[in-house]
Amino acid sequence: MMAEVKIAPSILAADFGRLAEEIRDIDQAGCDWIHLDVMDGHFVPNLTFGPPVIRAVREVSSKTFDAHLMVANPDRLLETYKDAGADIITVHAEVSDHLDRTLSHIRDLGCRAGVSLNPQTPEECLRYVLDRLDLVLVMSVNPGFGGQSFIPTMVDKISRIREMLDGRDVDIEVDGGITPDTAPAVVAAGATALVAGSAVFKGGSVASYKQNIEALRDSVRGL
């Protein structure tokens, strides 16, 4: 393992009635990034939140804001999310017709640039943008649908992406069904960041969130 794996709690699993407090709590509990699942009701069937919410909670944490744009037309929104406080902006390969240009734009804004792949999307689409990437987000469930289990075939996909990256300093983040039971396989395959929702946001206190984050770290320590 190159470095300690980054833990990125997804605020979709937080209590939105006390969202700012929840973000403070996971910050104090020791998370590395804060994962922001932006859904538009078009690319995926659900609607979540947008720039006003991100802007409102940006002041409560200095941790990396990791914005995952599950939206149909990301290019028109990049500056808006940067201005709202995103540090990483990840777009989906499936809706980015000019991916090289989009990634370059994200970097020009001063953010880290990521590409997300749905489970059925071949990793080959990354080959010609490898030097534009700071992060690859591998979806290990189908985005926008609840109650899904981790898709085991994504482990091999992660391995192939790590091989394709050929030593580049690019994070591989995995999102979907991540628990202390599934984390070891994805980290052994080459993942460096783990998105976790309910696996972190259970217990409702800083102490429980800290315990949950440590359980994820312990499950992959030494890999």
Distance between CA atoms of residues 219 and 4, nearest Å: 12
Residue 59 in any domain: the answer is yes
CATH code of the domain covering residue 120: 3.20.20.70
CA dihedral 117, 121, 123, 127 (to 10 degrees): -90
In this structure, is residue 58 part of a structural domain?
Answer: yes
Q: How far is CA 185 from the centre of its chain?
A: 17
Domain around 58? 6-220
Q: Which amino acid is at 34?
A: I
Rounded-to-integer distance, Cα 45 and Cα 160, Å? 29
Q: Which of 25, 27, 37, 134 is catalytic?
A: 37
179 φ, ψ (degrees, to nearest 5):
-140, 175
Left if phi > 0, otherwise alpha if psi is -120 to 50, otherwise beta: which for 49?
beta
Give kind and range of the element (H or E) at residue 198: none
Per-residue pLDDT of the chain (223 residues; tens, 9 = 90+): 456 999 999 999 999 999 999 999 999 999 999 999 999 989 998 889 999 999 999 999 999 999 999 999 999 999 999 999 999 999 999 998 899 999 999 999 999 999 999 999 999 999 999 999 999 999 999 987 666 799 999 999 999 999 999 999 999 999 999 999 999 999 999 999 999 999 999 999 999 999 999 999 999 998 8
The active-site residue out of 25, 66, 134, 175 is 175
Rounded-to-integer distance, Cα 23 and Cα 4, Å: 21
Is residue 175 flagged as an active site residue? yes
| Number of folded domains that form the chain | 1
pTM assigned to the model: 0.96
